[in-house]
Amino acid sequence: MAGAYDDRDGHIWMDGKLLPWREANVHILTHALHYASSVFEGERAYGGKIFKSREHSERLQRSARLIDFEIPWTVDQIEEAKAEVMKASGLSDAYVRALAWRGAGEDMGVASARNPVRLAIAAWEWGAYYGDAKTRGAKLDISKWKRPSPETAPSQAKAAGLYMICTMSKHAAEAKGCSDAMMFDYRGYVAEATGANIFFVKDGEVHTPKPDCFLNGITRQTVIGLLDDRQIKVHERHIEPGELESFQQCWLTGTAAEVTPVGQIGDYNFEVGNLTRQIAEDYEKLVRA
Q: How many CB atoms lie within 10 A of CB 7?
A: 8
DSSP annotation string for 185-199: ETTS-EEEESSSEEE
Q: Nearest Cα to 142, choosing from 97, 80, 193?
A: 193
Encode 147-183 in three state secondary structure: ECCCCCCCCCCCEHHHHHHHHHHHHHHHHCCCCEEEE
> What is d(CA 156, CA 232) in angstroms, rounded to the nearest whole number?
26
Given 52, 82, 134, 158, the catalytic residue: 158
Q: Is the dihedral of CA 164, 169, 174, 175 positive or negative?
A: positive
What distance lies between CA 89 and its chain's CA centroid?
A: 21
Three-state DSSP at 219 gives helix
The reply to whether 233 belongs to the active site is no
- What are the domain boundaries of the chain? 11-124, 133-287
pLDDT tens string 142-159:
999 999 999 999 999 999
- CA dist 227 and 199 (Å) reads 11
Confidence of residue 288 (pLDDT cuts 50, 70, 90): very high
Q: What is the pLDDT of residue 57?
A: 98
Is residue 57 within 8 Å of residue 85, measured between CB atoms? no
Are 11-124 and 133-287 equal in CATH topology?
Answer: no
Question: In the CATH scheme, what is the homologous superfamily, with its name and number, of domain 133-287?
Answer: D-amino Acid Aminotransferase, subunit A, domain 2 (3.20.10.10)
Question: Check: CATH 3.30.470.10 for 11-124?
Answer: yes
In the predicted structure, residue 1 carries a pLDDT above the cut 70: no
Task: Tell me the whole-structure pTM to 2 decimals.
Answer: 0.96
- What pLDDT was estimated at residue 131? 81
- Do 119 and 99 contact (CB within 8 A), yes or no? yes
In this prediction, residue 279 carries a pLDDT of 98
Q: List pLDDT tens digits, range 192-242.
A: 999 999 999 999 999 999 999 999 999 999 999 999 999 999 999 999 999
